[in-house]
Amino acid sequence: MVSSMDELQEQVRRQLYRFQDLADQMKAVRGRETSEDGAVMAEVDGNGALTDLQFSSAVSRMTPGELEQAVVTTAAQAARRAFERRAEIVNRFNEEMAG
């Protein structure tokens, strides 16, 4: 419980800064994964949208189907990493706000 208007304003100010920090952290989330053979590297943002896709020379030895599978699998793993990171950030935020 707050005992003065100054304390209330300070509490609200801290919470606003914490919300801004949360927003900044969520914007910065990235997931990156490289296929086991090193042929494909995918990076996604915190929403799972592909932001970078790179290929090594190993793709020249792949069939179109193998390349397709490698891209999809690698991008999905990168998205999983990003979503795990987002969950960690949100859980930590919730714990801080509850405490």
Q: What is the pLDDT of residue 2?
A: 64
Q: What is the pLDDT of residue 1?
A: 59
SS3 37: coil
The total number of structural domains in the chain stands at 1
Q: Each residue of 1-59: pLDDT tens digit?
A: 567 888 889 888 988 999 999 999 999 999 999 999 999 999 999 999 999 999 999 99
Tell me which residue of 77, 75, 96, 73 sits closest to 25, measured CA to CA: 96
Q: Which structural domain range is residue 48 located in? A: 5-98
CATH number of the structural domain spanning residue 82: 3.30.1310.10
Does the predicted model carry a pTM greater than 0.85?
no
Quick one: angle between helices 5-28 and 64-98, nearest 10?
170
